[in-house]
């Protein structure tokens, strides 16, 4: 017999919220049937309108809060929530950190069957706003005016904005200055429906420690209209700018950057530091958007690695060498692997920039390269993994188990795949010793985690 759904679309009902989902929506139950409502918190009661029903759940919209959570705060700017991204900005920072710790703890227990592991309180920021060092914003047109900002959730409608509260002020200033200059010069915004117009995206990157700024203009056309005048205006308005880059993306695509990148003024790179390690950042480089918390994360990874100077370390998924270069200061030798060739070039350049000679970088898939190293008789004392959201490949996990490094340090951006992989390593002879969540992205639901595993005796 078909189960009756206890709510209907457009119905307005009173509910109490008892939990949060992984994406930050409040969870209410109607006769045991889950209803997910964004911008609500556990312990609250409220009036909601059902906007969508599915077989196993419904989605609601908050109409009115009847009873508030002690963790609720007013949203700093009324329009800030319209473009999404900051799913937890209506929650106190103390509440956010507790939510993230609880999320890691629950997922490790449910998926990894790791109920008794030490999960430490989340390492948060003193100032959990204005931390992002990079923005890439779509450009469009509204009422004949050039606008730039963020897409409304689940749409391609651009919300024009002058300030994003999680971006560094210098990044907001750069976006606004470029937007104003392009508007004055009559540079036409790209229209994705007609595939006409010129300017698609504006990107700004800022080195917080060095004060160096890069501006990237992404256009549909090979030609950048009024190029010299635009450079003149940008450099006059933004004295910290060290690099202006033109990227061409002529395709009908949601991908931001195209294949052709040219420096049209200043340097190819800007520089920034994490701790005492210096990094060269190009328009295409992957570089952490919150370097302050990246240092917290990598200091913890270094502590968990427990290096004494004689160890061989493998860093799988090494990116531009960020963790590798931290480890190389304390290890005998570090080998880094990364699938993106451009990132490996950046890693080699960053090693040279810091005078680090005991780090070697190889382009390739970690799940192919590292098993080949093991077959050739190479092993490691410590193995560090920092995989993408999908977690580690099975072939890599089995190689780690066979290689038997004394320690594995797992850096994760996804508690679900982390828990799955820890279970495999536990079953293969490792013990999860301790887990340290780090808040890299305040006001959002994302949480990074560093885990230390030791080979069972």
Give dist(CA 8, CA 179) in Å, integer: 44
Residue 160, φ and ψ in degrees, nearest 5 = -70, 130
Annotation says 413 is catalytic: yes
Q: In 25-168, which ranges are continuous DSSP H helix?
A: 93-112
Long-range Cβ contacts of 344-351 (<8 Å, 24+ apart): 346/280, 346/282, 346/285, 346/286, 346/320, 346/321, 347/318, 347/319, 347/320, 347/321, 348/321, 349/280, 350/277, 350/278, 350/279, 350/280, 350/320, 350/321, 350/325, 351/321, 351/324, 351/325
Q: Which of 182, 318, 392, 413 is catalytic?
A: 413
Measured CA to CA in angstroms, residue 113 lies from 420, 427, 432, 448 at distances of: 9, 11, 11, 20
Secondary structure class of 424 (helix, strand, coil): helix
Measured CA to CA in angstroms, residue 162 lies from 81, 149, 175, 320 at distances of: 14, 8, 8, 31
Residues 6+ apart with CB under 8 A from 352: none
Residues forming a β-bridge with 138: 201
Q: How far apart are the first and last CA of the chain?
A: 54
Burial of 380 (0-12, 13-18, 19+ CB in 10 A): buried
Give dist(CA 227, CA 222) in Å, integer: 12
**Among all residues, which ones are annotated catalytic?**
413
């Amino acid at each position: 017999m078909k189960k009756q759904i206890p709510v209907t679309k457009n119905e307005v009902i009173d509910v109490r919220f008892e939990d949060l989902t992984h994406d930050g929506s409040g969870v209410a139950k109607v006769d045991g049937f889950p209803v997910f409502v964004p911008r609500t918190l556990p312990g609250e009661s409220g009036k909601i309108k059902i906007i969508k029903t599915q077989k196993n759940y419904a989605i609601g919209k908050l109409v009115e809060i009847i009873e508030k959570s002690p963790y609720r705060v007013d949203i700093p700017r009324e329009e800030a929530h319209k473009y999404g991204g900051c799913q937890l900005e209506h929650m106190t920072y103390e509440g956010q950190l507790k939510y993230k710790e609880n999320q890691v703890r629950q997922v490790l227990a449910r998926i990894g069957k790791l109920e008794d592991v030490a999960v430490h309180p989340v390492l948060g920021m003193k100032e959990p706003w204005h931390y992002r060092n990079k923005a890439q914003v779509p450009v469009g047109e509204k009422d004949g005016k050039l606008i730039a900002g963020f897409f409304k959730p689940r749409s391609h409608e651009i919300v024009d904005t002058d300030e994003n509260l999680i971006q560094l002020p210098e990044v907001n200033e750069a976006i606004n200055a470029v937007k104003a200059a392009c508007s004055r010069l009559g540079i036409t915004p790209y229209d994705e429906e007609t595939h006409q117009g010129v300017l698609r995206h504006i990107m700004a990157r800022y080195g917080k420690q060095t004060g160096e700024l890069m501006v990237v203009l992404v256009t549909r056309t090979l030609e950048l209209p009024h190029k010299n005048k635009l450079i003149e205006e940008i450099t006059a308005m933004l004295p910290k700018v060290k690099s202006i880059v033109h990227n061409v993306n002529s395709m009908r695509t949601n991908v931001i950057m195209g294949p052709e990148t040219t420096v049209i003024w200043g340097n190819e790179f800007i520089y920034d530091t994490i701790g005492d390690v210096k990094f060269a950042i190009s328009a295409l480089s992957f570089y952490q958007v919150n370097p302050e918390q990246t240092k917290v994360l990598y200091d913890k990874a270094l502590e968990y690695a427990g290096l004494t100077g004689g160890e061989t370390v493998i860093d799988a998924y090494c990116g531009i060498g960020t963790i590798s270069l931290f480890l190389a200061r304390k290890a005998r030798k570090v080998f880094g692997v990364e699938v993106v060739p451009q990132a490996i070039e950046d890693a080699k350049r960053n090693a040279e920039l810091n005078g680090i000679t005991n780090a070697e970088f190889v382009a390739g898939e970690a799940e192919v390269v590292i098993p080949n190293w093991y077959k050739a008789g190479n092993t490691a004392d410590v193995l560090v993994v920092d995989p993408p959201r999908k977690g580690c490949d099975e072939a890599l996990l089995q190689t780690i188990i066979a290689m038997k490094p004394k320690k594995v340090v797992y850096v994760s951006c996804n508690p679900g795949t982390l828990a799955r992989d820890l279970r495999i390593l536990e079953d293969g002879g490792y013990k999860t010793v301790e887990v340290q969540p780090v808040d890299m992205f305040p006001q959002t639901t994302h949480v990074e985690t560093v885990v230390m595993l030791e080979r069972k005796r």
